[in-house]
Amino acid sequence: MNNFLQETFGLDGKVAMVTGGHTGIGRGISNALAKAGADIFIVTHSGRNTEEVRAEIEGYGRRVEFYQADLSLEEEAAKSIEKCVEAFGKIDILVNNSGTIYRAPILEGENQMWQKVIDLNLSAVYYLSKEAAKHMVKQGSGKIINIASMLSFQGGKFVPSYTASKHGVAGLTRAFANELAEQNIQINAIAPGYIETANTAPIRANEKRKAEISSRIPAVRWGVPEDLGAAAVFLSSKASDYMNGHILAVDGGWLAR
């Protein structure tokens, strides 16, 4: 049984690049992939928490490298892929996790914030996936995991730019999968439900809103970053080799209601 699990879900010898892998959901995914055997290349925007995360990943006996970049810029996104390949010699797994959110009523929203959200949440996914896929095609294999959202399926409220970007992420996931499946590259996405992260802190600070959301989740709790780790390992491993263009909800049952 242990041999089966290792052969099917193990990531020994793999290199995973995780954007925003030093905090929140990304940190949970980075740790899970490292526990499964992968070396980790983390791209950060701020450079914070890197030493804490380094200690965690090296504690699993894995290598980790960090690179600071503004992924909303095409040239910096491309450079980050190059730096990963320079550091580890290849890229087997790309997790497009970095993202931002802007909350404001439609009639009051600032137009420049629309572009900021789209650039990081959607355009960066395109730039990074395209550059990573060039290396994966040469290798003859690869896994790309995008972080979608419940708002890849729903409209939400007060977050039109975020909703548009996450619908776009779902579309890019399917579009890349259609083109690259024959190259033995699998592109899928994880759609987290309500997870306790910095992005959801304003919602959780509103006790009434938090209670309303919690009451609608069949699991009767918000998720934590660690809840997404096993899904990321699955989508990074041999176990998902015949899975492509899928949006996997990890939401405590939110979409089932």
pLDDT in 10s for each residue of the chain, 257 residues? 589 999 999 999 999 999 999 999 999 999 999 999 999 999 999 877 799 999 999 999 999 999 999 999 999 999 999 999 999 999 999 999 999 999 999 999 999 999 999 999 999 999 999 999 999 999 999 999 999 999 999 999 999 999 999 999 999 999 999 999 999 999 999 999 999 998 788 889 999 999 999 999 999 999 999 999 999 999 999 999 999 999 999 999 999 99
Q: Is 162 a catalytic residue?
A: yes
pTM across the whole model: 0.96
Which CATH number is 169's domain given?
3.40.50.720
Q: Catalytic pick from 67, 102, 127, 162?
A: 162
Asked if 24 and 146 touch (Cβ cutoff 8 Å), the reply is no
Alpha carbon distance 246, 243 (integer Å)? 7
- How high is the pLDDT of residue 244? 98
Range of the domain at 184: 2-256
- How high is the pLDDT of residue 2? 81
Residues in the chain: 257
Q: Give the contacts of 50 (CB within 8 A, at least 6 positions apart).
A: 22, 42, 44, 66
Alpha carbon distance 93, 11 (integer Å)? 10
pLDDT tens digits along 32-61:
999 999 999 999 998 777 999 999 999 999
Asked if 169 and 188 touch (Cβ cutoff 8 Å), the reply is no
- How high is the pLDDT of residue 203? 87
What is the DSSP track for 189-214?
Answer: EEEE-SB-SGGGHHHHHSHHHHHHHH
Q: What is the largest CA-CA distance in the chain?
A: 57
- Count of structural domains within the chain: 1
- How high is the pLDDT of residue 47? 73
